[in-house]
């Protein structure tokens, strides 16, 4: 078999790859799950003693959360190469003297809002300009109902928010789950470590991104917290006080999506280790979506292998795997018919409006899309134009659109360094893919 060479050059956001690949499976090093790491850090912060978080994702979001937790008096976080050690030395914590800055980290900010209610004093949580625009009203409305005291310091329903130590005065907590599942996870953590006998968290309207809540439940159960899930409508939590433990973080299903799509659009093969189809991460569902499009998939006990083939368009509800919508959209550009993705309204309130980012990026390439409030249709890309892709400081926009270069599309990314938010070694791993195929 002839092995074709592939070259990679990244300089000032310019990404230029040739598109030839051999038949040997590439095995990328995918870091630990961002969602697991964030939840593990919060569990450690609620737990008296030392909690070690192994195989942690070391990225902007997790560093912001670790630094934030380290600023509380009575709590410290040690950072290693691929681990965190959260050490809570005091049962009573005290708020930092300065505002807690969390950058663009949406999940940590929402988890911290509830955590701050357990801390003596007044904790101000703030972020960058985009995070301070993103909605926090759903959890703040629940705070109003259950007796958690807070104050929005600038815009109502948005960060910065100052939370005061508060003891919830009711056992039934109602939360709107239609904007972000992160609010639900935040409340469940607060309930799990409260002093109440039992807490019921009930969902008003619908719950988006259910797998992220399932992940929260699985992690809490692993440290001994009993949670009854009534079809994602009601959660009955029996609070507890877990002993310090070691939390081993699973491979990031969102991070692996880029290599799966790279294989899908080039007809090459990729093997992702340290994860399988039983993962609680909803984004693992992208594997089955790519199978529907025509890829060959093989599941092993601790790995997933995918080989790309000719792709066909599909219609798919991606409510359960929102962080891989951009990845699938790139595969859709190389399908033989249009692909329609539905139930993704919450993509409009992520780091950027990700539906709009797909529309604009594809338009710059010379392609066609249609979209609505919670859906998008991507038409096959016939002749791609060289262009600059606006990343909007959004890591997933940058990583997803960069995959098109594997099809020979010359791209410039407006901000290629923003991948550090969730996958600091992304360019190193794409370089490893290039070297693998030389």
Q: Which tens digit of pLDDT belongs to each residue from 186-228? A: 999 999 999 999 999 999 988 999 999 999 999 999 999 999 9
Q: Where are the domains of the chain?
A: 8-31+251-436, 34-248
**CATH code assigned to 34-248:** 3.65.10.10
Which residue(s) pair with 201 in the sheet? Answer: 173, 235
- Cα-to-chain-centroid distance, residue 179: 15
- Alpha carbons 348 and 345: distance in angstroms, whole number: 6
H/E segment holding residue 238: strand 234-238
With a cut of 50, which residues of the chain have pLDDT below it?
Answer: 1-8
- The single-letter DSSP state of residue 71 is T
Domain 8-31+251-436 has CATH 3.40.190.10: no
pTM of the model: 0.87
Q: What is the largest CA-CA distance in the chain?
A: 70
Q: Is 323 a catalytic residue?
A: yes
- Alpha carbons 295 and 304: distance in angstroms, whole number: 13
| pLDDT value at residue 6 | 39
What confidence tens digit (pLDDT) does each residue in 91-106 have? 999 999 999 999 999 9
| pLDDT value at residue 15 | 58
Contacts of 378 (CB under 8 A, 6+ apart): 329, 332, 333, 338, 339, 340, 341, 358, 362, 367, 369
Contacts of 144 (CB under 8 A, 6+ apart): none
| pLDDT value at residue 265 | 94
| pLDDT value at residue 330 | 98
How many DSSP H helices and E strands does the chain contain?
A: 12, 23
| pLDDT value at residue 24 | 84
Q: What are the DSSP calls for 33-47, one per residue?
A: -HHHHHHHHHHHHHS
8-31+251-436 and 34-248: same fold?
yes
Q: Which of 111, 123, 122 is nearest to 193 (CA)?
A: 111
| pLDDT value at residue 3 | 31
DSSP H helices in 175-324: 181-192, 210-222, 253-266, 286-293
- Alpha carbons 34 and 325: distance in angstroms, whole number: 17
Q: Give SS3 for 361.
A: helix
- Alpha carbons 164 and 175: distance in angstroms, whole number: 20
- Alpha carbons 428 and 8: distance in angstroms, whole number: 10
Active-site entry in 60, 61, 252, 323: 323
């Amino acid at each position: 078999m002839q092995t074709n060479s592939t070259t990679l050059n990244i300089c000032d956001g310019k990404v230029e790859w040739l598109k030839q690949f051999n038949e040997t499976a590439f095995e990328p090093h995918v870091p630990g799950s961002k969602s697991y790491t964030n939840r593990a850090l919060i569990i450690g912060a609620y737990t008296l003693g030392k909690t070690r978080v192994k195989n942690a994702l070391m990225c902007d979001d997790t560093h912001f959360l670790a630094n934030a937790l380290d600023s509380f008096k009575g709590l410290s976080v040690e950072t290693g190469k691929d681990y965190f050690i959260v050490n809570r030395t005091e049962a009573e914590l005290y708020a930092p003297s300065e505002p807690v800055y969390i950058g663009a980290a949406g999940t940590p900010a929402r988890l911290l809002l509830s955590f701050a209610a357990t801390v003596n004093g007044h904790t101000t949580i703030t972020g960058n300009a985009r995070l301070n625009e993103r909605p926090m009203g759903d959890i703040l409305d629940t705070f109003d109902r259950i007796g958690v005291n807070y104050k929005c310091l600038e815009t109502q329903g948005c960060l910065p928010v100052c939370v005061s130590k508060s003891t919830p005065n009711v056992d039934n907590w109602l939360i709107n789950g239609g904007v972000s599942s992160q609010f639900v996870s935040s409340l469940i953590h607060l309930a799990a470590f409260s002093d109440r006998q039992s807490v019921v968290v009930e969902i008003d309207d619908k719950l988006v991104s259910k797998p992220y809540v399932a992940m929260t439940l699985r992690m809490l159960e692993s440290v001994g917290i009993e949670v009854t899930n009534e079809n994602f409508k009601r959660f009955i939590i029996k609070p507890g006080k877990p002993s310090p433990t070691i939390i081993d973080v699973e491979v990031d299903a969102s991070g692996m999506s880029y290599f799966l799509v790279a294989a899908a659009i080039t007809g090459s093969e990729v093997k992702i280790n340290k994860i399988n189809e039983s993962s609680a991460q909803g984004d693992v569902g992208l594997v089955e979506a790519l199978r529907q499009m025509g890829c060959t998939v093989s599941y092993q006990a601790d790995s997933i292998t995918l080989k790309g083939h000719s792709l066909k368009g599909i219609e798919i509800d991606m409510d359960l795997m929102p962080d891989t919508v951009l990845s699938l959209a790139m595969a859709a550009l190389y399908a033989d018919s249009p692909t329609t993705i539905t139930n993704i309204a919450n993509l409009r309130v992520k780091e950027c409006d990700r539906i709009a980012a797909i529309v604009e990026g594809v338009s710059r390439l010379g392609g066609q899309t249609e979209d609505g409030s919670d859906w998008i249709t991507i038409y096959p890309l016939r002749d791609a134009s060289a262009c600059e892709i606006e990343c909007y400081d959004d890591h997933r926009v940058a990583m997803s659109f960069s995959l098109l270069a594997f099809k020979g599309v010359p791209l410039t990314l407006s901000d290629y360094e923003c991948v550090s938010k969730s996958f600091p070694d992304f360019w190193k791993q794409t370089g490893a893919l290039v070297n693998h195929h030389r």
